[in-house]
Structure 1
Amino acid sequence: MADSSSSSARRQLLIGLAIAICGAVLFSAKAIVAKLIYRYDVDAVTLIAFRMLFSLPFFAAIALWQARQSPPLTARERGQIVLLGLLGYYLSSFLDFLGLQYITAGLERLILFLTPSFVLLISVFLLKKKISMLEWMALAISYAGTVLVFVHDARLGGANVALGSAFVLGAALSYAWYLLLSGELLKRVGTMRLVAYAMCVSSVVCILQFFLLRPAAMLVQPMAVYGLSAFNAFFCTVLPVFLTMIAVQRIGAPTASQAGMIGPVSILFLAAWILGEPITGIQIAGTVLVLCGIYLLSKKKT
């Protein structure tokens, strides 16, 4: 009986890990899709507008479903959700796609993967949280890996690499603030409801931004742009969000987070396969350092 129970638990763990890995790879793949769309002379404002335009129906449907079975939000909660939608999804995504115009998909993923360390640093300097030697070591290793890849890419791409990296760094910082500010609200509102509502806010803002900054004629694009945007919306935005949530429910947030470390590795090889971006020893070394640093952070005692 015990063996049967152990086998069942093991199977559930493996299924949860597989779901978490799929979510991490799909979410990371948005950088690859963005690079492919940029080949059609589409800018970041238009790219993100198409992404959110195709995503909005899914998140709106989930938001309506959640609204029908949940208690009404307070005015304060509504305001917080709007702020989180602007900060965590609109601003972060916009800066990320701006950066992808100038840097490789591999470097973008490494910089975004520093988000947990930014959460930690903000907690240290603003919330006066104490940090252990293990955490300092983890931060040093992660940043060393990112700097290694940045210097490598800067030699090839020049000043544009610095500009693109700055945009993606801003995206990571923006998302770190989102994670910090969403903690208490998640407990009151629920993960699925919060994500659906915040993504609806972000989608509307991205679409409005497009019509304010670009002529409506730019909605007319080659069919490939529509196809890639639809893929980006469903497979790299909607699906990974809910796959990650399912994985967290099955195996817990810490284990799901560790499984997500496959993201930078998958992008390194996907970028080489699909985009023809080179894989060098320095890039692999930098990626390994970042993963080691994040792994150390994930092992810290709470």
Structure 2
Amino acid sequence: MNVPAESSTTRFSYWLGALFVFLAAFCFAMKGILIKLAYQYHIDSISLLTLRMLFALPFYIGIALNLSRQSADQVMGKLTLRQWATLAMLGITGYYLASFFNFLGLVYITASLERILLFVYPTFVLFMNAIGYGRRITRLQVLALALTYTGLLIAFIGNIETSAQKNVVLGAFWVILSGLVYAIYLVGSDNMISLVGSQRYTCYAMMAATVPTVLHCAIANGLHLTGYPLAVYGLAAAMALFVTVIPTFMIAEGIKRVGSGNASIVASVGPIFTIILATTLLNETISIAQVFGTLLVLTGVFLISWRGKR
């Protein structure tokens, strides 16, 4: 029996989208590893974040210009001043504040625990949609929340006495705050993405976030970004390209092909990648409690994402 060409093409597009999401999850999982490697050279959080943003900026500017040339309609002229301000504030929220809090948290805790704690952001999105848009939380979602936070508690308590972590409570605070701020960015982004498109939106948001990042660095240390070992710039460039530019567009393309619910499910492998990389590249010790807690968190996030897909 011959498969219709249209059906075959649709199936290929779906699996290609799933592959994009899977590869993006792997790239994002590398972020904490690269940050921890860079911290070995005694660079502070805001300087490292600034280097990452500056290395990534030319790519986003170039892509934004290319998209403007390709498009027949003038998106920039369609947006009001208020909409531009909203877009800028969302970009600053998602890519400056959330990123800085995340970088700061990694000063104190391991990369593997950071990824588990950060993955709580889908539950924040669920709460925000319930409060802001009146979307009812179902019994399945309540079960998912219970599993997620039980897993977080188990993973957290199991790592309090780990010698590899400088201050697990303070580090956890910054990472969870990063997840909360990122959830605000996600919930607020829906309308803007529908106006300008996901790729343009990502470019504009990243460009907007670069401004306060550079200003913060200038205030904190006079924008002194020279004099670090060559390895620091290599790691920052790797973060810009492989943890920022490439995965942001892969995840956008993946969501377009498979939907946000399915993309969230595929992306759930992220913490597993981080744990594997942390044990092999950073020699971090993973406890049984952390593994069990991770499985509970992933199960909870999976259920929330699956419900969203339905």
Task: Give your verdict on TM over 0.5.
Answer: yes
Please state how far the C-alpha of 1:18 moved relative to its aligned partner: 1.8
Q: Give the match for residue 86 of structure 1.
A: 92
1:168 and 2:175 correspond: yes
Q: Equivalent of 1:114, from 96, 115, 120? A: 120
Please state how far the C-alpha of 1:110 moved relative to its aligned partner: 1.2
Q: Deviations over 1:271-302 (max 9, x none)?
A: 00100011222121111111110111112165
Q: Give the match for residue 3 of structure 1.
A: 3
1:232 and 2:239 correspond: yes
Percent of residue pairs bearing the same amino acid type? 38
Please state how far the C-alpha of 1:270 moved relative to its aligned partner: 0.5
Cα distance in 2, alignment partners of residues 115 and 52 from structure 1: 22
For 2:247, give the aligned amino acid. P
Q: Deviations over 1:237-280 (max 9, x none)?
A: 00000111121222222222211011011001000010001122
For 1:173, give the aligned amino acid. L
Cα distance in 2, alignment partners of residues 245 and 105 from structure 1: 25
Q: Equivalent of 2:227, from 204, 220, 224? A: 220
Please state how far the C-alpha of 1:159 moved relative to its aligned partner: 7.2
Please state how far the C-alpha of 1:60 moved relative to its aligned partner: 1.2
Q: Give the match for residue 304 of structure 2.
A: 297
Q: Deviations over 1:148-171 (max 9, x none)?
A: 111111122577100000001110
Conserved in 2, the CA contact under 8 Å of 1:55 and 1:203? no
Number of corresponding residues: 302
Q: Give the match for residue 150 of structure 1.
A: 156
Please state how far the C-alpha of 1:61 moved relative to its aligned partner: 1.3
TM-score by length of 1: 0.94
Q: How does 1:178-189 map to 2 (within 5 A)?
A: 178-189=185-196
Please state how far the C-alpha of 1:126 moved relative to its aligned partner: 4.3
Cα distance in 1, alignment partners of residues 12 and 68 from structure 2: 34
Partner SS, residue 94 of structure 2:
helix
For 2:173, give the aligned amino acid. A
Cα distance in 1, alignment partners of residues 119 and 65 from structure 2: 32
Cα distance in 1, alignment partners of residues 170 and 48 from structure 2: 19
Identify unmatched segments of 5+ residues in structure 1. Answer: none
For 1:120, give the aligned amino acid. L
Cα distance in 2, alignment partners of residues 268 and 280 from structure 1: 11
1:75 and 2:81 correspond: yes
Partner SS, residue 51 of structure 1:
helix
Q: Deviations over 1:36-91 (max 9, x none)?
A: 00000001011101100101101111222334433312111110111101111110
Q: Deviations over 1:6-39 (max 9, x none)?
A: 5554443333222211111101211100000000
Q: Give the match for residue 50 of structure 2.
A: 49
Identify unmatched segments of 5+ residues in structure 2. Answer: none
For 2:276, give the aligned amino acid. F
Conserved in 2, the CA contact under 8 Å of 1:99 and 1:165? yes
Conserved in 2, the CA contact under 8 Å of 1:269 and 1:279? no
Q: RMSD of the TM alignment (CA)?
A: 1.8
TM-score by length of 2: 0.92
Q: Deviations over 1:106-157 (max 9, x none)?
A: 1111111111100111233444432111111101101111111111111225
Cα distance in 1, alignment partners of residues 15 and 173 from structure 2: 37
Q: Give the match for residue 103 of structure 2.
A: 97
